[in-house]
Amino acid sequence: MASNKITPEEYARKPHETPVVALVGNPNCGKTTLFNTLTGSNYKVANYPGVTVEKKEGKLALPDHRHARLIDLPGTYTISGSTIDEKVVTRFLCGQIQDNRKPDLILAVLDATNIERNLFLVSELIDARYPLVVALNMMDAAEERGIKIYSELLARSLDVPVIPIIARSGRGLEDLKNAVARELVHPAISHKALAWLPSDHKSAETIRQLPQPHTPDQLDADTITSIATLRYAWIRAIAARAVRSPEQSLPKLTRFDSILTSKVWGLPILFVVFGLIFQAIFLWAQLPMELISTSVDSVSAWVGETLPPGLLTSLLAEGIIPGVGNVIVFVPQIAILFLCIGILEDSGYLSRAAFLLDNFMRRVGLQGRAFIPLLSSFACAVPGILSTRTIPSRVDRLTTIMIAPLMSCSARLPVYAVLIAAAIPPTLLAGFISLQGLTLLAMYLLGVVGACCVSWVIHKALKRKESCFFVMEMPPLRRPIPRVVLRNVYDSVVSFLKNATTVILACSIVIWFLASFPSQIRLTREIPCVLATPDNSERRLSRPSSHSALTGRSALALSPRFQPERCL
């Protein structure tokens, strides 16, 4: 039924603006891979208004040169969820998000390897009376496990088109596009809504009158449980007809997987992996960062020398160019970090790391996934904070963002070195422990302990108000797709450049202004921004500041209060 050709006159019935197709599915069902393939990786990334949930929208080219807006919604198990991501899905489906009307069609992606759980979401979508096309993904993985799915039977039981696909290899996508195109012209609504509900069920009338989708706080616990139990009974009845799976269809815990999460080897492997990431952002990014900052310096020097001296030249050479340089100097670190995270996330290792670390992190009110952002913050807080987007819960994400800057980043090391050299005598404790080295260690520990305290306080103050729990699916280990990982790195870098440039550039110009005015005598360069990098911070310290400018004046006014530092 999937390969019927669409005639152009069928489209003529719906002449108005581009239809909206929403991509809905469980986490780890291959939704993102399907989205990338369907849009040819040609999409825009933005945030949903008011929340830090990523919104991806791309153009879906349909078989007869028509187009649809394809929107990738966050992965969810239910359309009546309570986390920030799940609420975005609910609000989107209700047509409550800004200019987005209700989607014209929902493309539900199902993981064929655990079809029963995936059908829960589909049963909710059918009840909410959305026009629906079901993409049955990962058919190859299901076959490997000996699961046989009769998609025609499934389609008849659900009363919606069901298209078997393999998003990774692109198999079945033409059929899928045809089905989407057809359903957009003749949106068919399944007649199986609330089919799971026995007619003599005592709360049948209540459930029929519920708004679909609804939020969990509209219901009491008993109703939620009985609705879900009945839904699953319906799903099992459908699965009994349309799915043949072997007795033991549970994925075997592979030997490699059990080593990765074992009590003996789990943590050592984890420390090696994270150690490598830390090395990568700390050391390997150093060379490109130095290259960027020296070339930015030479460009700004060249501009300063070539252009006729004046205010504009000064603004360009001492405000704007170093300001932009301060942004792009972080690109190598961010790219490397997101490459590492992308590989770990896509392969499924990040979930295993979260499993291993959760019990330790939980004690200070964090969750396992907060470890990577915090570790990368030792190299630099900027990529660290950016990487908190891998933490699903909003409170956990905010807490991690708050404490990440408390970790001593690499740019603070030269400052520590200078201060310690000036303030701590170079004595040796017990003959070999340097007091200065010990102080440096203490400074790092101070950051960690401070972070733990702040996190614990936030945990006590905030978490009670918002529901917060750690229930996640452990995706099977698989080989990451380079195209998806690299595209993710690109998206992160672009989003960083876009968002950071405006702020940092504006700050640079303000600081340039404060450093240059009211003095008109000699325009000298002041520290362009607080985000100093280790390689050039010393040079900046040694530069003379313009004493008559606003920054110079305020520095002179403040300096008596910091007398001891004057010895520097």
Partner 1 sequence: MAITGAENEHNKRETMTPPNTTITEKSLSAVKVGQRVVVSAIKSCPTELLQKLVSMGLVAGTEVEVTQRGFFGSPINVHLLGSVLSLRSVEAAHIQVVPL
Binding residues vs partner 1 (CB under 8 A):
77-78, 80-83, 111, 113-117, 120-121, 145, 147, 216-217, 219-221, 224-225, 228-229, 232-233, 245, 249-251, 253, 258, 261, 263, 351, 354-356, 358-360, 362, 467, 469-474, 476
- The distance from CA 217 to its chain's CA centroid, rounded to whole angstroms, is 27
Helix (H) or strand (E) holding 415: helix 412-423
Closest distance to partner 1 from the beta carbon of 245 (Å): 8
Q: Toward partner 1, which CB reaches closer, 397 or 412? A: 397
Hunting for tokens 């007649």 — which residue is that? 191
Closest distance to partner 1 from the beta carbon of 196 (Å): 12
Closest distance to partner 1 from the beta carbon of 457 (Å): 21
Please choose, from the candidates 493, 393, 485, the residue with its C-alpha nearest in 3D space to the C-alpha of residue 32.
485
Closest distance to partner 1 from the beta carbon of 232 (Å): 5
Contact by Cβ (8 Å): 381, 405: yes
Tokens describing residue 42: 């040609």
Which residues touch 522 (CB under 8 Å, ≥6 apart)? 546
Closest distance to partner 1 from the beta carbon of 467 (Å): 4
Please choose, from the candidates 420, 435, 337, 439, the residue with its C-alpha nearest in 3D space to the C-alpha of residue 383.
337
Q: Toward partner 1, which CB reaches closer, 232 or 416? A: 232
Hunting for tokens 């108005």 — which residue is that? 16
In this structure, the strands spanning 148-149 and 243-244 are: antiparallel
Q: Toward partner 1, which CB reaches closer, 121 or 337? A: 121
Q: Toward partner 1, which CB reaches closer, 115 or 341? A: 115
Beta bridge partners of 32: none
Q: Toward partner 1, which CB reaches closer, 474 or 497? A: 474
Q: Toward partner 1, which CB reaches closer, 30 or 332? A: 30
Please choose, from the candidates 405, 310, 305, 390, the residue with its C-alpha nearest in 3D space to the C-alpha of residue 343.
390
Query: d(Cα 100, Cα 358) in Å, to the nearest integer?
Result: 38
Query: d(Cα 65, Cα 442) in Å, to the nearest integer?
Result: 65
Query: d(Cα 40, Cα 22) in Å, to the nearest integer?
Result: 16
In this structure, the strands spanning 428-429 and 433-434 are: antiparallel
Query: d(Cα 58, Cα 431) in Å, to the nearest integer?
Result: 65
Query: d(Cα 356, Cα 358) in Å, to the nearest integer?
Result: 6
Q: Toward partner 1, which CB reaches closer, 77 or 444? A: 77
Closest distance to partner 1 from the beta carbon of 228 (Å): 3
Closest distance to partner 1 from the beta carbon of 229 (Å): 5
Closest distance to partner 1 from the beta carbon of 535 (Å): 40
Query: d(Cα 191, Cα 193) in Å, to the nearest integer?
Result: 6
Half-sphere exposure of 556 (CA within 13 A, CB side): 11
Please choose, from the candidates 525, 532, 533, the residue with its C-alpha nearest in 3D space to the C-alpha of residue 551.
525
Q: Toward partner 1, which CB reaches closer, 253 or 457? A: 253
Q: Toward partner 1, which CB reaches closer, 261 or 488? A: 261
Which residues touch 152 (CB under 8 Å, ≥6 apart)? 1, 162
Hunting for tokens 């090696």 — which residue is that? 272
Q: Toward partner 1, which CB reaches closer, 230 or 336? A: 230
Closest distance to partner 1 from the beta carbon of 186 (Å): 30
Closest distance to partner 1 from the beta carbon of 269 (Å): 14
